[in-house]
A and B are shown apart, each in its own frame.
Chain A
């Protein structure tokens, strides 16, 4: 398995509170991604990073921000959590270096977030 860890693995929080999820990789890969998984929707891309301090929005980025200050860490922040952000969040890394469509993504163990 790819060397990806996510923390925390489970979190329950209240509406309106800030939440930060961490993804850590030991593979030194350039590309990192945050997805959310909801029943019937598969995985949807929230944000991704193509290098330190280089990030861009995905399909469902509203209400989320990200930061990448080191190659190995990619943080996802919910500035003010809402119940619609209750989901399972997966981090992924890509083995490519040029952002080519033949890159393969490998996934972390996930974080289950519940917003009450």
Chain B
């Protein structure tokens, strides 16, 4: 079955550490890719999205993601995390039509 996988379920980092969260999808053909963030007790907010063009996408709050088609991956990165980045991060994909399929999420805890 077509799916989106986030293999890191929980990540704990210290402030100023670098972050990379994995996202892999199993769809063939053209995909559109999204990263959403959910801060504690809040709704999902769009971090960044990739539709086409430069595979390195920059989003809000210093986040970026790289689309690697050959690896079916869209990993999220940030060079230096802050305590305020503590949240749950979701990768999502649209394939045909505008239905989003989400990964299971990665909970990030940043220790001050």
- In this complex, the interface size class of chain A, counting residues with CB under 8 Å from chain B, is 20 to 34
Contact with B along A28-57 (1 / 0, CB 8 A): 000101000000111111001000000000
Write out the residue numbers on chain A whose beta carbons fall within 8 Å of the beta carbon of B34: 104
Write out the residue numbers on chain A whose beta carbons fall within 8 Å of the beta carbon of B11: none
Smallest CB–CB gap between A38 and chain B, Å?
10
Residue in B9, B42, B90, B96 whose beta carbon sits within 8 Å of that of A101 in the complex: B96
Query: Quick check: is B51 within 8 A (CB to CB) of the other chain?
Result: yes
Smallest CB–CB gap between B22 and chain A, Å?
14
Contact with A along B101-112 (1 / 0, CB 8 A): 011110000000
Query: Quick check: is B82 within 8 A (CB to CB) of the other chain?
Result: no
- Interface centre among B51, B90, B94, B96, by most chain A C-beta atoms within 10 angstroms, is B94
Residues of A whose CB lies within 8 Å of any CB of B are 1, 31, 33, 40-45, 48, 58, 90, 94, 96, 99-110
Write out the residue numbers on chain B whose beta carbons fall within 8 Å of the beta carbon of A31: 98
A23–B34 Cα distance when bound, in Å, is 23
Residue in B9, B46, B90, B94 whose beta carbon sits within 8 Å of that of A43 in the complex: B90
**Which parts of B86-106 form the interface with A (CB within 8 Å)?**
90, 92, 94-100, 102-105
B99 in contact with A45 (CB, 8 Å): yes
Smallest CB–CB gap between B54 and chain A, Å?
16
